[in-house]
Amino acid sequence: MKPIVEYQDYHAFLSDYYEERKRTSAFSWREFAKIAGFVSPSYLKDVCCGKTNLSKVTMGRVAAAVGLVGYEVTYFEAMVQFGNAKTDDAKKKFLEQMHSIALDHKVRIVDKDAFEYYDSWKNPVLRELAPLMPGAMPGEIAKMCTQEVSAYEVRKSLAFLERAGFLKQVGENVYVQAEKSVEGSKEGLPLALRSMHREMGYLAVDSLDRFTSSERNITGVTMGINRETYEQIVAELDACRKRITAIAEACTDVTQVYRMNLQIFPLSKEVVGNKEAKDE
């Protein structure tokens, strides 16, 4: 079984723990629940299946039942609170706590690079911009960003991008993009992407006043649709994004970094039925 610090989903951790015990002994859900002090013999099975969650009160009992000690208990409790958190800020807080514990014990969280990469607009922008300016100093690169950024921030971002494998330095201040995909678990990556989408949304609003209409293109439509139509539109947006990505990849003379947002979101709650249906 993997070390606990390689997990981000406590449901998966407990499920793997149970399967490992089951493989090497006559372990049962009833016994597992009894050791942890639960009356229901199926409670921990439901937790492992994701049907229910542990609480701040029960997570300590489960940590003891699993045999966790020291930093493992602290990591487990942070992992439970990360999984149960309702806001991005709370999730980020506990993910960072998990990462700190993992670093202290020389283990790398799978999603940490992805989270840090998407945590600021600077990283994806500099990953595109730095290779266009071979030999440029951080201060020179900073001046080419439309948003305010310091030379120190550029230097820090470039160091991260190189360390994490998003950029490769092939000469003094000369970078090329490395072939590395950003992949992570289903828990961490969506959180990181939400952070990026939020930042890029703010920059899109800022662009309305910062750039002329010849330099940016922002359009929209307000429409009434149902769920089936929504799914069709999302599929069309996905196909459009892929076509545009292919067009961008075919560009061999890159001179500028752009951001394109594709957004569709509700402006009302769902109306169930209609007046005629209610009158029948």
Mean pLDDT lowest for which of 141-155, 156-170, 264-278?
264-278
pLDDT of 140 strictly over 90: yes
Contact 44, 62 (CB under 8 A): yes
- Determine the pLDDT at residue 248: 84
HEC secondary structure over 57-103: CCHHHHHHHHCCCCHHHHHHHHHHHHHHCCCHHHHHHHHHHHHHHHH
| Domains annotated on the chain, with CATH | 4-109 (1.10.260)
- Determine the pLDDT at residue 33: 92
- The residues that bridge with 177 in the sheet, in sequence order, are 167
Contacts (Cβ under 8 Å, ≥6 apart) of 145: 122, 125, 129, 154
How far apart (Å, rounded) are the C-alpha atoms in residues 168 and 177?
6
Q: What is the pLDDT of residues 240-257, one digit of tens each?
A: 887 888 788 778 899 999
How far apart (Å, rounded) are the C-alpha atoms in residues 264 and 237?
9
pLDDT of 180 strictly over 60: no
How far apart (Å, rounded) are the C-alpha atoms in residues 48 and 10?
8
Q: What is the pLDDT of residues 57-89, one digit of tens each?
A: 899 999 999 988 888 899 999 999 999 999 988
How far apart (Å, rounded) are the C-alpha atoms in residues 68 and 263?
44
pLDDT of 279 strictly over 60: no
- The residues that bridge with 171 in the sheet, in sequence order, are 174
- Determine the pLDDT at residue 27: 87
The chain-wide mean pLDDT, for the chain, equals: 86
Give the predicted TM-score (pTM) of the model: 0.61
- Determine the pLDDT at residue 20: 86
**φ/ψ (deg, to 5) at 217:** -130, 110
pLDDT of 275 strictly over 70: no
Categorize the per-residue pLDDT at 278 as very low, low, confident or very high, splitting at 50, 70 and 90.
very low
Between 231 and 106, name the one with better pLDDT. Answer: 231
- Determine the pLDDT at residue 25: 79
CA distances to 15, 53, 141, 184, 216 from 84, in Å:
17, 7, 40, 19, 40
Q: 167-171 and 174-177: which strand pairing?
A: antiparallel
Average of pLDDT values for 85-102?
Answer: 90
Categorize the per-residue pLDDT at 239 as very low, low, confident or very high, splitting at 50, 70 and 90.
confident
